[in-house]
Amino acid sequence: MELTGAEIVVQCLIEEGVDHVFGYPGGAVLHIYDAFYKQDKIKHVLVRHEQAATHAADGYARSTGKPGVVLVTSGPGATNAVTGIATAYMDSIPMVVLTGQVPRPLIGNDAFQEVDAVGITRPVVKHNFLVEDVKDLAMTLKKAFFIATTGRPGPVVVDIPKDITAFKTDFMYPREIKMRSYCPTIKGHAGQVKKALEHILDAKKPMIYTGGGVILSNASEDLVTFTQTLGAPVTNTLMGLGAYPASDKQFVGMLGMHGTYEANMSMHNCDVLIAIGARFDDRVTGNLEKFCPDATIIHVDVDPASISKNVKVDVPIVGDVKQVLTEFNNQLSKNDRRIDSAALEGWWSQINEWRAQNCLKYDHDSGTIKPQFVVEQLHEVTKGDAFVTSDVGQHQMFAAQYYGFDKPRRWINSGGLGTMGFGMPAAMGVQFAHPDETVVCITGEGSIQMCIQELATCLQYGLPLKIINLNNRYLGMVRQWQEFFYEKRYSMSYMDSLPDFVKLAEAYGHVGIRVEKPEDVRQALEDAMTKYKDRLVFIDFMTDREENVYPMIPAGAGLNEMILI
Amino acid sequence: MNMKHIISILLENESGALSRVAGLFSARAYNIESLTVAPTDDETLSRMTLVTSGTEEIVEQIMKQLNKLVDVVKLIDLTVNEHIERELMLAKVQATGEARSEVKRLADIFRGHIIDITDTTYTIELTGTGEKLDAFLTSLSSIKIFEVVRSGAIGISRGEKSLTS
């Protein structure tokens, strides 16, 4: 069957089972948009800025595990998408981004809306392609989906010149693909698995530290089995929250810069550290020289380059997290040996002493709205079962610390790149994927303004997002650092001339609510979830201006050197 | 300790493959001393030879990061095993007066060839390890050098061990 390049693009997406494409049209992709117009299998979502298209596709991917798909035009379309591509790259999110390109004869001539999209995106993609022949188009798209979704996932950009989308060729979508230069290791080495288990069962003070890899690999159940069989404490990174239920007693909270005291102290004092699908990020380890001084470190990761990158590992296991955890669990079920129970009991009593510090306590009697309180109330009103996206800053940490995620893929945030403006468009992607679920975006008055135009997209598609704006009239995290480390010189951290967010929400056709007193917090949240269930509700919470995120590990300190409130 | 490593890489002969490797080195602040790339007997593959230096940990990361590039088919650190290293140099030097015979003598000692002559210059072609080429240039210390062009090292492992797809 002969199809145009544009028709081939659409057919390939259908073959890949894509149901949503997030994008914005422009000159170089007009043929593709015309092909979209003539079909009804894929819903195209029109955003208001290409950055939002990538974040929406990203939110869709994080909440479903399926690759997010983006379509943007050449030049500024591609450059606007870069922030979202880099966001997905840093958090290993599967995404396929189609960028239009000027026709091949014009490439390199500084044509209108021409940029070297492959060159610009190269450092922030898992791989990218420039399609140079319409005959290669289907195979290139097949490769793009294959690369994006296998091994350590990530974004793949396919740059398609406009003339290619007009040419015709026979279309046949390849069923299978094999690339000699790309074959990720999935199964963990049996000898290493055995060796790791020996260390684990010999432990007196074991600690399980897991990251986003457990979620990406859909291995939460396996992690729960593993953790409960061992009886060991478990911590999740910012990216890994929800992989282990926060309400379980073996969960010691998030670790790292704003992690709990008990999580960080357990890390620092453990004798065997079992790192699974985590990458020893600098926000997690603190000062590397002081990191886990007495621990034998086991590291399971699908990406060999993540192993021994920051921290020298004693037992590396390269493989898919789910496969390796399944193997751990199989071996444990065949073996009656367990960690010495007396040692484990002693370890837990130590951990419970740390826990008794109650490091997440905060002032309930200030008369001001504490951001922590809003998040706790939100947890209650949504029964802890909402999809929660966030932007970046203090509100992100409060959400991570106080929401208590019991399920994977419920917590959606830009952990690696730390992209302000991520929250609302990501929530849109989540809501498209889960139309009947409650989707909340916890944000701040700084971040929300970085993609505020998407309120229009939400109206167009009737997305009933609940936007929780923790408005302290400061760039809170910047202000906190300036308070601690720059003698309160609040350089540019004050948001002067803020808009009236209630009127703004209303201007976009949504419901706006302002909350100024702690006693009104609960009612506003309940109204948002019930009275205005089917509307987008923007709640502008006027929070305590100078509340800080505690506890905190200052720069250069070890995990055992936290500042407590 | 920083050691010199010669890394041989087989990569897909695709446009942009070279910039992926070069971009990786600049993005991660790795050092490149030299880099050469050309097609192989298999036209779908290019072979790149990259000379770098760093601690054991850094070179291990370099190898892993290179391996992660989708266009990289295979790679080997030649310096780990017995290997042969060669580099080509063209040096254009002044050849007047006493220097005319002196340069000829030095070129002979280093088994170089004079491949172009003018009234005032010789152009010498010399192959060998980087150290040999350095030594030749040092021996020319009293001679005026107009221009030196070096290819960067290429290498191959000894015996039957081969880097093939």
Angle, alpha carbons A326-A331-A333 (nearest 5°):
95
- B92 Cβ under 8 Å from any chain A Cβ: no
| Contacting B residues, span 58-87, partner chain A, CB-CB under 8 Å | 60-61, 64-65, 67-68, 70-73
In chain B, residues with a C-beta closer than 8 Å to the C-beta of A313 are none
Min distance B42 CA to chain A CA atoms (Å): 14
In chain A, residues with a C-beta closer than 8 Å to the C-beta of B62 are none
Largest distance between two CA atoms of chain B: 56
CB atoms within 10 A of CB B118: 9
3-state helix, strand, coil in chain A (%, to 5): 40, 20, 40
Task: Give tens-digit pLDDT for B40-96.
Answer: 999 999 999 999 999 999 999 999 999 999 999 999 999 999 999 999 999 999 999
Beta carbon pairs, A and B, within 8 Å: 37
Residue among A122, A179, A303 minimizing CB distance to B19: A122
Q: Is there a catalytic annotation at residue A50?
A: yes
- Which residue, A392, A495, A498, A378, is CA-closest to A438? A378
- A308 Cβ under 8 Å from any chain B Cβ: yes
pTM over 0.90: yes
Question: Which of A95, A267, A477, A562 is the catalytic position?
Answer: A477
| Contacting A residues, span 59-118, partner chain B, CB-CB under 8 Å | 118
Nearest-angstrom CA–CA distance, A23 and B31: 39
CA distances from A408 to A62, A221, A245, A280, A419 (A): 10, 10, 8, 20, 21
Contact call for residues B53 and B153 (beta carbons, < 8 A): no
Strand ranges (E), A423-499: 439-444, 466-471
Question: Which of A126, A142, A143, A162 is the catalytic position?
Answer: A162
Contact call for residues A540 and A514 (beta carbons, < 8 A): yes
Residue among B27, B68, B70 minimizing CB distance to A305: B68
Q: CA-based Rg of chain A, rounded to a whole angstrom?
A: 24
- B39 Cβ under 8 Å from any chain A Cβ: no
Contact call for residues A66 and A467 (beta carbons, < 8 A): no
Half-sphere exposure of A55 (CA within 13 A, CB side): 30
In chain B, residues with a C-beta closer than 8 Å to the C-beta of A157 are none
Put simply, the answer to whether A119 touches B67 (Cβ < 8 Å) is no
- B15 Cβ under 8 Å from any chain A Cβ: yes
What tokens appear for B84 in the block?
């042969």
3-state secondary structure A493-520: CECCCCCCHHHHHHHCCCEEEEECCHHH
Q: Is there a catalytic annotation at residue A477?
A: yes
Put simply, the answer to whether A123 touches B27 (Cβ < 8 Å) is yes
- Which residue, A31, A55, A30, A56, is CA-closest to A43? A56
- Position A565 scores a pLDDT of 80
Put simply, the answer to whether B61 touches A309 (Cβ < 8 Å) is yes
Map residue A119 onto helix, strand or coil: helix
Each residue's pLDDT expressed in tens, for chain A with a length of 565 residues: 899 999 999 999 999 999 999 999 999 999 999 999 999 999 999 999 999 999 999 999 999 999 999 999 999 999 999 999 999 999 999 999 999 999 999 999 999 999 999 999 999 999 999 999 999 999 999 999 999 999 999 999 999 999 999 999 999 999 999 999 999 989 999 999 999 999 999 999 999 999 999 999 999 999 999 999 999 999 999 999 999 999 999 999 999 999 999 999 999 999 999 999 999 999 999 999 999 999 999 999 999 999 999 999 999 999 999 999 999 999 999 999 999 999 999 999 999 999 999 999 999 999 999 999 999 999 999 999 999 999 999 999 999 999 999 999 999 999 999 999 999 999 999 999 999 999 999 999 999 999 999 999 999 999 999 999 999 999 999 999 999 999 999 999 988 899 999 999 999 999 999 999 999 999 999 999 999 999 999 999 999 999 999 999 998 899 999 999 8
The whole-number average pLDDT for the span B112-137 is 97
- Which residue, A329, A293, A294, is CA-closest to A203? A294
DSSP one-letter string for A179-211:
BTTB----SPPHHHHHHHHHHHHH-SSEEEEE-
Put simply, the answer to whether B67 touches A147 (Cβ < 8 Å) is no
Partners of B9 in the beta sheet? B48, B75
Residue among A180, A181, A304 minimizing CB distance to B64: A304
What tokens appear for B146 in the block?
């107009």
